[in-house]
Every structure is written in structure tokens, then in C-alpha cells.
Amino acid sequence: MNEFRATAMADLHTLTAFVDAACAEAGVGEDVAFAVRLAVEEAFTNIMEHGYGGDGGPVAVAIDAGAHGVRVVIRDEAPAFDPLHAPAPDLDAALEEREPGGLGWHLVRQVMDTVEHEPATPRGNVLTLTKRLPAAAPEHQEG
């Protein structure tokens, strides 16, 4: 399992390069790599901006990519926050009636197959994101 450690929003570019490299090394397709990169970017940005209030703090991102998919574990020391309880945005409301923000966690839940949260000990959060690889299409055999 590969791991990346960050402490500030300025680490985002290096983090996304780390995600891309882990996905490429495992040979996952571009669609899966894009979804994983997008989810990690959204989660990391939310941790830095909301969890740490823009001041930064420790975040560890571990990636395990293989034949069945990609599993990302993100650990922080920010106040407890379960993104599964984040309210879903009202996508049917007129643009001028929508509250700003709230799309990030919705997007993460849409592009990943599973999103799990657990409190870390003694403080912080552990977020596990999983993206399964699409099943290979059966080969067409001519008889």
C-alpha cells in the first residue's frame, strides 16, 4: 500500500500526482483513475478547508490498487465529521435558490462505489473510499 502525507492545501497537486501514479502502476483504466482522483481531491479539500479551517493539518492518504479495484484510506486529525451525514444538495432547485457548497460530498458518493467513515483514535477521522474495476466484457467467440 502506497502512502502520501500532506499538511497543507499546497500539497494538493502532489497528492493528485500520487493518486495518478498509484492508479497507473496498478494498470487501472482512465475512467477509474479519474473517479478516484476526483474523490480524493474533494475529500482532501474538504478536510483542509472545513476540518482544519484553512490552517492545514496532518492528512495521510494510503492507496491500495489492484486487479479488483482501488481502495483509498484517508486519515486526519481534524474534528470528527461523518461525510455520510452531509445533506444531499437540492439539484432540482433553481440555481439562484441553491445554498452554496455541498456538492463535493455528493460528488464523492456518486463517483465511488463505497464511502465509509469511522472516528480515529484518539481524534480525527478515517475515510475509506473504494472504486471497483468494471468487469471485463466476455470475449466474443465465433463458432
Which tens digit of pLDDT belongs to each residue from 102-132? Answer: 678 889 999 999 999 999 888 999 999 999 9
Give CA–CA dist 9/69, Å, rounded.
Answer: 27
Mean per-residue pLDDT over the chain, rounded: 87
pTM as predicted: 0.86
Q: Please tell me the distance from the alpha carbon of residue 117 to that of residue 128, in angstroms, as a whole number.
A: 6
In this prediction, residue 143 has a pLDDT band, given cuts at 50, 70 and 90, of very low
Domains with residue ranges and CATH for the chain: 2-132 (3.30.565.10)
Are the C-beta atoms of residues 104 and 51 closer than 8 Å to each other? no
Half-sphere exposure of 43 (CA within 13 A, CB side): 34
Q: How confident is the model at residue 1 (pLDDT cuts 50, 70, 90)?
A: confident
Q: pLDDT (tens digit, 9 = 90+) per residue, 53-84?
A: 999 999 999 999 988 899 999 999 999 998 87
pLDDT at 52: 96
Do 39 and 132 touch, CB atoms closer than 8 A?
Answer: no
